Amino acid sequence: MSRLLSIDGISVRYGAIEALHQVSMSVEEGDIVALIGANGAGKSTLLKAIVGQVPLCEGSISFRDEVVSTSEKHRKSLPTHMLARMGIALVPEGRHVFADMTVEENLDMGAFFVRDASLVARKKEEMFDFFPILGARRKQKTRSLSGGEQQMMAIARALMSSPHMLLLDEPGLGLAPLVVQDIFQKIKLINSEDKVTVFLVEQNARMALRSSDRGYCLENGRIVLSDASSALLENDRVRQAYLGE
């Protein structure tokens, strides 16, 4: 396997507040990598840094062996739309669907950069096959969907661009336990069947680590643990802090 994403010593500040401090981590092609941590640890900031939505104060980020973002001193930061063209797709926390558009129109927005109409049509049918409930609701306004259905649609919208890497920010947030299980099963299928590398940010540490190959723990903007996910599930520090044991 080759390294798809490399994060090397990055720091991010909001004014005087340091949200990330010299964070280093990597994602290997074909893996599911989980990032766990408490509220306010800096997890969402890390995803925003990857997609170019916040500037780096230190360090660099590389995707497919190309440096895509560096600190202000050696400024290089590709805009978010260029990163999307390179194959990074983000499903943001809270889904951020287009509520007054139909399910089908939302999927069309996910394929904004795809100029082949026949490919877009084929991708939509693939999404409707993968998420049958979306196929049944394809002409409905998105605001009429349940939270779980909107999360499925947000994932399907991200997949419309055929990304190399899918970033997921709290996909289980606010959903019923059975719906969360269904969402995570879909994530594993996206990885195994569609060969999409997944970087998963999730507060439900048990579910995230059970569903991933490798995990990182972020505390107060710093990586404090990294290991195979199976090993982190047995780690006393993780069990006490995040698994309620």
Domain range summary for the chain, segments of one domain joined by +: 3-87+163-241
- Structure tokens that stand for 172 in this block: 């289980």
Q: Can you give the pLDDT at residue 201?
A: 95
**pLDDT confidence band for 173 (50 / 70 / 90):** confident
Q: Are 47 and 34 in contact (CB under 8 A)?
A: no
Whole-number percent of the chain with pLDDT over 70: 97
- Statement: residue 50 has pLDDT above 80: yes
Three-state secondary structure of the chain: CCEEEEEEEEEEEECCEEEEEEEEEEEECCCEEEEECCCCCCHHHHHHHHCCCCCECEEEEEECCEEEEEEHHHCCECCHHHHHHHCEEEECCCCCCCCCCEHHHHHHHHCCCCCCHHHHHHHHHHHHHHCHHHHHCCCCEHHHCCHHHHHHHHHHHHHCCCCCEEEEECCCCCCCHHHHHHHHHHHHHHHHHCCCEEEEECCCHHHHHHCCCEEEEEECCEEEEEEEHHHHHHCHHHHHHCCCC
pLDDT, average across residues 129-144: 94
Say which range, 134-138, 174-178, 196-200, 222-226, has the weakest mean pLDDT: 174-178
**Predicted TM-score (pTM) of this structure:** 0.92
Identity of the amino acid at 223: I
Say which range, 90-94, 209-213, 235-239, has the weakest mean pLDDT: 90-94
- Statement: residue 74 has pLDDT above 60: no
The topology (CATH level 3) of 3-87+163-241 is Rossmann fold (3.40.50)
- Statement: residue 94 has pLDDT above 80: no
